């Protein structure tokens, strides 16, 4: 019997957590029946009751695992002092949560027409981690370029894993950009037409996916538009909770 479900509310339990950068935690929620989603989509994680007061008991998070790992929902998030995040941090293994409303249009194209360009700011890397893991799982990790912007290397979630993936897959290139890291030997400039030309050659040759804070997404879309990339070839999603 196919036990794969895609209901609105999926009961789950915390299965574990690990640090993936400074103040950034990956959390694994195990589900009873297999759960279906597409790489790049997001869900709401509802804690039901909160240990610290907040206006809402849930937040949206992109899945970072590949859909082939259908017995779990894995998310990555930055710590904050909101009542929700403090309550999330206080969960212990086995604690119940509800995974709600899996959705999102930022997904891999059914058919690839051009090379893929991923542009991530900070924890905006989350949906790309799922996509890259999925492409790797399908042996289809080629013609993909990732520009990954962060303040510093220590705050860049999954950096080591992504660098390793690029080492193992010559068709996947990662350009880490650390805008405020004096010790960073690589690229430190923010996105602009000039930096896009140096990383992509001709940006019009790609389908672009952009995820980050609203401000970062706006800046990236503007730079791509300045480089004459058609709007229909830019797919973007902003993590609206990171606009402070």
120 lies in the binding site for ligand FAD (CB under 6 A): no
Long-range contact set of residues 156-160: C-beta below 8 Å, sequence gap at least 24: 156/21, 156/125, 157/20, 157/21, 157/24, 157/26, 157/76, 157/122, 157/123, 157/125, 157/126, 157/129, 158/20, 158/21, 158/64, 158/76, 158/125, 158/129, 159/21
Q: Which of 2, 46, 60, 233 binds ligand FAD (CB under 6 A)?
A: 60
Nearest-approach distance from CB 130 to ligand FAD, in angstroms:
10
Stretch of 3-11, 52-60, 162-170, 171-179 lying at the interface with ligand FAD (CB under 6 A): 52-60
235 lies in the binding site for ligand FAD (CB under 6 A): no
CA 30 to chain centre: 19
Q: Which residue is nearest to ligand FAD (CB)?
A: 241
CA distances to 22, 205, 227 from 117, in Å: 26, 9, 14
CA 46 to chain centre: 19
Nearest-approach distance from CB 213 to ligand FAD, in angstroms:
9
Q: Which of 1, 2, 55, 170 binds ligand FAD (CB under 6 A)?
A: 55
CA 40 to chain centre: 7
Nearest-approach distance from CB 193 to ligand FAD, in angstroms:
27
Strand partners, 187: 177
Nearest-approach distance from CB 28 to ligand FAD, in angstroms:
14
User: Which residues, 73 to 102, sit near ligand FAD by CB under 6 A?
Assistant: 75-78, 80, 82, 84-85
Nearest-approach distance from CB 241 to ligand FAD, in angstroms:
2
H helix and E strand count, the chain? 5, 11
Distance CA 42, CA 106 (A): 9
Classified as helix, coil or strand, 173 is: strand
Q: Which of 42, 128, 172, 206 binds ligand FAD (CB under 6 A)?
A: 42
Residue 124 or 203: which CB sits closer to ligand FAD?
124
Number of residues that bind ligand FAD (CB under 6 A): 23
Nearest-approach distance from CB 63 to ligand FAD, in angstroms:
8
Q: In the complex, which residues of this chain contact ligand FAD (CB under 6 A)?
A: 42, 55, 59-62, 75-78, 80, 82, 84-85, 123, 126, 237, 239-244
């Amino acid at each position: 019997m196919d036990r794969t479900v895609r209901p609105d509310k999926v009961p789950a339990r915390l299965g574990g957590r690990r640090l993936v950068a400074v103040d950034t935690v990956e959390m694994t929620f195990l589900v009873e029946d297999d759960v279906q989603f597409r790489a790049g989509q997001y869900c709401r994680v509802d804690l039901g009751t909160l240990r610290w007061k907040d206006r809402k008991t849930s937040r949206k998070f992109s899945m970072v695992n590949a859909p082939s790992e259908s017995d779990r929902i894995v998310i990555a998030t930055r710590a904050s002092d909101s009542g929700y995040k403090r309550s999330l941090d206080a969960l212990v293994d086995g604690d119940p949560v509800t995974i709600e409303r899996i959705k999102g249009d930022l997904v891999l194209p059914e058919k690839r027409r051009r090379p893929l360009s991923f542009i991530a700011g900070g924890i905006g890397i989350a949906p790309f981690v799922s996509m890259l893991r999925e492409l790797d799982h399908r042996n289809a990790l080629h013609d993909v370029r990732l520009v990954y912007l962060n303040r510093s290397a220590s705050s860049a979630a999954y950096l080591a894993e992504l660098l390793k993936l690029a080492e193992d897959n010559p068709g996947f290139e990662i350009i880490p950009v650390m805008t405020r890291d004096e010790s960073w030997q690589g690229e430190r400039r923010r996105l602009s037409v000039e930096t896009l030309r140096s990383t992509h050659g001709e940006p019009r040759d790609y389908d672009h996916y952009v995820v980050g804070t609203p401000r970062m997404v706006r800046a990236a879309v503007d730079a791509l538009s300045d480089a004459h990339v058609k709007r229909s070839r830019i797919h973007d999603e902003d993590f609206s909770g990171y606009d402070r």
